[in-house]
Chains A and B, each alone.
Chain A
Amino acid sequence: MSVLSAASVSVHLGGAPVLRGVDLEISGGELVALVGPNGAGKSTLLGVLAGDVEPDSGEVTLDGHPVRHLGAAALARRRAVLLQHQGLSFGFRVSEVVRMGRSPWHRTPQAERDDEVVASVMTVADVDALADRVFPTLSGGEQARTSFARVLAQEAPVLLLDEPTAALDIRHQEAVLGVARATARAGSAVVVVLHDLSLAAAYADRVCLLDAGRVAADGTPDDVLTAQRLGAVYEHPISVTRVDGSLVVVPVRARAGAGEKEDACVP
């Protein structure tokens, strides 16, 4: 039974089609990676799933309710969203920003757990040490982790993350996706937009490859991430290898350096 589903969703932005008849079903307990080249419609699809973008045709349902019928507060208790760019107009402290994630539960019995949840997600997202820092003065990666903690604090059964690892170093990339997968294992439905296909292969249960607004492939990483298909979609030769049991996706690069070296060896 899918928690979140998009049925033949089409979106036009500025007259140009961005999504064309996308179908996607996401169940509780799975982590789905949305991948695809620039302009494939990944962020737009995430916006449609989040209820931010109203599709021109098709429908998105969350827990069986059409998202356009759910109010902002009802939506916020069902899904949390991490945007690609985080901004903050005023100098709130990190702990205050994380606590903002608890606001959908204001005046509900769950509000009693606010302190406990905030403390635990700050530890999980590794922002404990930043608790009293002012958000706008943090580095991009620290802001991203703080926002991730805020999203976790919302304790929504559906998590939508738009490039959560873009600003992060390797350790925190692994940590954030590890937490995302653990959240999925605990029963949540998690959708992550990713550019790094190796990361997608390592953490996703399912990969949905978008190409020019359509779903080009949807399945397990092994099925979707093949050299031939990726090469065609990304319009660049791509090599897929297996290192220590996990897929590694890298572009095929012209070996200019090697060629020079060979030349140099010729007497």
Chain B
Amino acid sequence: MTLAAPVGARVTPRLGVRRGLARVGLLGGLGAALVVAVVVAAGHGQLDVSPAEVVGSVLHRLGLDLGPLPSHPQGETTLWQVRFPRVAMAALAGAALAAAGALMQGVFGNPLAEPGVVGVSSGAALAAATVIVTGWTFAGTWTIALAAFVGGLLTTLLVYTTARDGGRTEVVTLVLTGVALNAMTSAGLAFLMFVGDQQAREEIVFWTLGSLNGSRWAYVAVSGPIAAVGLVAALLMARQLDLLALGDRAARHVGVDVERLRLRVIVVVALLTAAAVSFCGIIAFVGLVVPHLVRLVAGPGHRLLVPASALGGAVLLVLADLWARTAVDYADLPLGMLTALVGGPFFFWLIRRARRTAGGWA
């Protein structure tokens, strides 16, 4: 022991440096990917603007006389009225949903927890649809977001109290809770569509399919701050979330006030889900796919998982939305449909993999 201790002490800091570099590399790489994705996505559409012109337009707005301006007469307007708000919304929603997924998985100790899968997104959507149909505007443009937050919060609490027993969450119970919740919220949405007028009906359909069509700066101004608060809170909780992996009792033994942490996480998950769902509708599986891929690359530590998932989610949704609006000429495919199309098979794969390896969750 006297011999080995100094050796260990010498090895550990080096390991720390290596991890630090890996952290900077991953976050830097994802950040760069996000910038590229945003520039490309903003330039593509029915009216193409070259990446150089996109960058030039942004720089000019920032007061820097660098780079070319869009050559097309409508270029500048298209970029700032249509594309940028849409791309910003995609990045926001992606970051919020992926971070919410990472948090939920941490708090349930279960990699299958995700706002869409367990029904939190549809709970938020149901509350928002209620506001749409009844025409309530008690909080101005914030009304829908507020309703989505309350709906998300209630459903998360419901999932939590139903699926959790004796400090553990069984996969089966969690997924079945999601099935039951999604059934109930579908019924609620169906009822709202039945009683709603034509316009409300169209809005609700748009919601359940999930789309970024018609994103405006006013929406970004509501979702942005909510997502920002949620993401900062998520980062602050990351260290303690690692300890929850030990299980409730052992986490308490190393100093985590488990119940308080759990309630905080639930509130933050509801905030993040509301930030995305309020104006984009239900976009499922982002919170499942992204944290899972990050874990494969960077391990399960939440201090890296949460920010990397947020960046990765933003990249994914910006690109997915680009595909949704350019895959078919003059058509805007529902984004939620696309993510489910890709995320569904991924979910299958996760279930199969989990059945084969006993590693970690059951």
Are A and B bound to each other?
yes
Q: Assuming A95-B15, A115-B9, is B253 touching A128 (CB within 8 A)? A: no
- For the complex, give the distance between the alpha carbons of A106 and B249 in Å: 19
In the complex the two chains form, is B257's CB within 8 Å of A73's CB?
Answer: yes
Closest to A115 in B: B12
Give the shortest distance, in Å, between A220 (CB) and chain B (any CB). 30
In the complex the two chains form, is A115's CB within 8 Å of B13's CB?
Answer: yes
Of B254, B258, B299, the contact of A103 (CB 8 Å cutoff): B254
Of B1, B111, B258, the contact of A124 (CB 8 Å cutoff): B1
Q: Assuming A86-B250, A90-B300, A122-B8, is B245 touching A73 (CB within 8 A)? A: no
Closest to B360 in A: A136
Residues in A neighbouring B13, C-beta threshold 8 A: 115
In the complex the two chains form, is B255's CB within 8 Å of A96's CB?
Answer: no
Q: Is B178 an interface residue (CB 8 A)?
A: no
Q: Is B63 an interface residue (CB 8 A)?
A: no
Of B12, B254, B359, the contact of A100 (CB 8 Å cutoff): B254
Closest to A74 in B: B255
- For the complex, give the distance between the alpha carbons of A137 and B358 in Å: 8
- For the complex, give the distance between the alpha carbons of A104 and B246 in Å: 14
Of B254, B299, B301, B360, the contact of A88 (CB 8 Å cutoff): B360
Q: Is B164 an interface residue (CB 8 A)?
A: no
In the complex the two chains form, is B245's CB within 8 Å of A90's CB?
Answer: yes
Of A72, A95, A124, the contact of B252 (CB 8 Å cutoff): A72
Of A80, A115, A120, the contact of B1 (CB 8 Å cutoff): A120
In the complex the two chains form, is A81's CB within 8 Å of B253's CB?
Answer: yes
Closest to B255 in A: A76
Q: Is A154 an interface residue (CB 8 A)?
A: yes
Residues in B neighbouring A76, C-beta threshold 8 A: 252-255
- For the complex, give the distance between the alpha carbons of A87 and B12 in Å: 25
Q: Is A223 an interface residue (CB 8 A)?
A: no
- For the complex, give the distance between the alpha carbons of A100 and B257 in Å: 15
Q: Is A83 an interface residue (CB 8 A)?
A: yes
Q: Assuming A52-B249, A90-B295, A100-B243, is B359 touching A137 (CB within 8 A)? A: yes
Residues in B neighbouring A100, C-beta threshold 8 A: 242-243, 246, 254
Q: Assuming A91-B300, A92-B301, is B11 touching A119 (CB within 8 A)? A: yes
Give A139-168 interface residues, CB cut-off 8 Å to B. 147, 150, 154
- For the complex, give the distance between the alpha carbons of A128 and B6 in Å: 13
Of B1, B242, B256, B295, the contact of A123 (CB 8 Å cutoff): B1
Give the shortest distance, in Å, between A15 (CB) and chain B (any CB). 17
> Per-residue 0/1 for B1-36: is the Cβ within 8 Å of any A Cβ (1 yes, 0 no)?
100110111011101100000000000000000000
In the complex the two chains form, is A104's CB within 8 Å of B1's CB?
Answer: no
Residues in B neighbouring A116, C-beta threshold 8 A: 5, 9
Closest to B109 in A: A89
Give B237-265 interface residues, CB cut-off 8 Å to A. 239, 242-247, 249-250, 252-258
- For the complex, give the distance between the alpha carbons of A150 and B301 in Å: 17
Most buried by B among A50, A91, A150: A91
Q: Is A71 an interface residue (CB 8 A)?
A: yes
Residues in B neighbouring A123, C-beta threshold 8 A: 1, 4-5, 8
In the complex the two chains form, is B360's CB within 8 Å of A96's CB?
Answer: no
Give the shortest distance, in Å, between A101 (CB) and chain B (any CB). 6
- For the complex, give the distance between the alpha carbons of A257 and B11 in Å: 56
Q: Is A134 an interface residue (CB 8 A)?
A: yes
In the complex the two chains form, is A72's CB within 8 Å of B257's CB?
Answer: yes
Residues in B neighbouring A75, C-beta threshold 8 A: 252-253, 255
Q: Is A195 an interface residue (CB 8 A)?
A: no
Q: Is B361 an interface residue (CB 8 A)?
A: yes
Q: Is B110 an interface residue (CB 8 A)?
A: yes
Residues in B neighbouring A147, C-beta threshold 8 A: 250
- For the complex, give the distance between the alpha carbons of A91 and B305 in Å: 13
- For the complex, give the distance between the alpha carbons of A104 and B251 in Å: 11
In the complex the two chains form, is B255's CB within 8 Å of A89's CB?
Answer: no
Q: Is A68 an interface residue (CB 8 A)?
A: no
Q: Is A77 an interface residue (CB 8 A)?
A: yes
Residues in A neighbouring B8, C-beta threshold 8 A: 118-120, 122-123, 128
Give the shortest distance, in Å, between B277 (CB) and chain A (any CB). 26
Q: Is A93 an interface residue (CB 8 A)?
A: yes
In the complex the two chains form, is A103's CB within 8 Å of B12's CB?
Answer: no
Closest to B242 in A: A100
Give the shortest distance, in Å, between A213 (CB) and chain B (any CB). 21
In the complex the two chains form, is A89's CB within 8 Å of B360's CB?
Answer: yes
Closest to B241 in A: A90
In the complex the two chains form, is A120's CB within 8 Å of B5's CB?
Answer: yes
Of B5, B247, B249, B299, the contact of A92 (CB 8 Å cutoff): B299
Residues in A neighbouring B1, C-beta threshold 8 A: 120, 123-124
- For the complex, give the distance between the alpha carbons of A106 and B12 in Å: 17
- For the complex, give the distance between the alpha carbons of A93 and B298 in Å: 12
- For the complex, give the distance between the alpha carbons of A91 and B300 in Å: 6
> Per-residue 0/1 for B75-112: is the Cβ within 8 Å of any A Cβ (1 yes, 0 no)?
00000000000000000000000000000000001110
In the complex the two chains form, is B359's CB within 8 Å of A134's CB?
Answer: yes
Most buried by B among A50, A72, A76, A150: A72
Give the shortest distance, in Å, between A50 (CB) and chain B (any CB). 7
Closest to B253 in A: A81
Residues in A neighbouring B9, C-beta threshold 8 A: 115-116, 119-120
Closest to A123 in B: B4
In the complex the two chains form, is A50's CB within 8 Å of B242's CB?
Answer: no
- For the complex, give the distance between the alpha carbons of A120 and B300 in Å: 24
| A-B contacts, 12 listed (Cβ < 8 Å) | A72-B257, A81-B253, A86-B246, A88-B245, A92-B299, A92-B301, A103-B243, A119-B5, A119-B8, A136-B358, A136-B359, A154-B254
Given A95-B15, A119-B9, 9 more pairs with CB closer than 8 A: A87-B246, A87-B247, A90-B111, A90-B245, A90-B295, A96-B301, A100-B246, A128-B8, A150-B254
